[in-house]
């Protein structure tokens, strides 16, 4: 009896099946308007870190724009919400502000779901969404961020001045608008590494609801 030829080594077959499955899931997510921010908010110059199945902040901006084009002419209440699933430590402030601005201007509702962590920039991205959810044992981190060094002292000074404006004006204004954190609390805590679980995030107006089942994610 002829031996059955194995066209795919076992490891290669598993890899192929896994890759196909993730590709199908990826495109199903896009069709269902589930966008996943599961990486740091990389600057566009770090595009090489991406794979075909990983969305950068700039990719999420593009998809939000696409869904708004598809919904053009529809009343807001008839538009299918965009679900932004977040597990990110934050990252580049400029990419983060681009994504925040797009969400704020989106007529199609964007709902944030904290899947594990919303930290730094990613917290602000989730904060400005039209509805904000969290899984029960997730983490929120509010802090004043990190500053990268420039290639000269004078440029570093210029960058520091600009970041003072961003942190002390832009982000502070957003925090006052979208949360229950008042100016006194902000002054007391803005230099801290302020970690919160969902209950505290709800108390501070950063999150709206803790999910009690998975129906919103399906």
Provide the β-strand partners of residue 127.
none
Judge whether 58 counts as a catalytic residue: no
| Residue 186 neighbours by CB under 8 Å, 6+ apart | 172, 175, 176
Judge whether 120 counts as a catalytic residue: yes
CA separation for the pair 160, 147 (Å, rounded): 8
- Structure tokens that stand for 46 in this block: 């770090």
User: Of the residues 143, 152, 154, 215, which is catalytic?
Assistant: 143
Long-range contacts of residues 3-12, Cβ cutoff 8 Å, at least 24 apart = none
- Structure tokens that stand for 81 in this block: 């919400």
Question: Which of 160, 81, 187, 167 has its CA nearest to residue 124?
Answer: 167
User: Of the residues 98, 120, 152, 215, which is catalytic?
Assistant: 120
| Residue 201 neighbours by CB under 8 Å, 6+ apart | 134, 140, 207
CB 27 within 8 Å of CB 37:
no
Residue 211: helix, strand or coil by DSSP?
coil
CA separation for the pair 143, 122 (Å, rounded): 11
* Residues labelled catalytic: 120, 143
């Amino acid at each position: 009896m002829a031996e059955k030829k194995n066209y795919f080594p076992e490891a290669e077959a598993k890899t192929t099946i896994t890759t196909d499955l993730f590709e199908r899931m990826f495109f199903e997510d896009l069709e269902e308007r589930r966008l996943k921010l599961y990486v740091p908010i990389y600057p566009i110059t770090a595009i090489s870190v991406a794979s075909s199945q990983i969305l950068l902040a700039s990719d999420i901006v593009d998809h939000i724009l696409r869904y708004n084009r598809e919904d053009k002419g529809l009343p807001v209440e008839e538009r299918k919400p965009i679900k932004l699933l977040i597990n990110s430590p934050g990252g580049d402030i400029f990419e983060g502000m681009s994504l925040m601005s797009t969400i704020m201007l989106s007529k199609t509702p964007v709902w944030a779901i904290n899947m594990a962590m919303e930290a730094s920039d990613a917290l602000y991205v989730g904060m400005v969404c039209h509805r904000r959810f969290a899984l029960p044992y997730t983490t929120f981190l509010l802090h004043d961020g990190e500053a990268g060094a420039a290639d000269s002292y004078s440029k570093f000074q210029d960058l520091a001045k600009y970041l003072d404006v961003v942190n002390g004006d832009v982000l502070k204004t957003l925090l006052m608008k979208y949360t229950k954190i008042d100016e006194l609390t902000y002054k007391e805590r803005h230099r801290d590494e302020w970690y919160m679980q969902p209950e505290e995030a709800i108390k501070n107006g950063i999150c709206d609801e803790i999910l009690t089942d998975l129906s919103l994610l399906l």
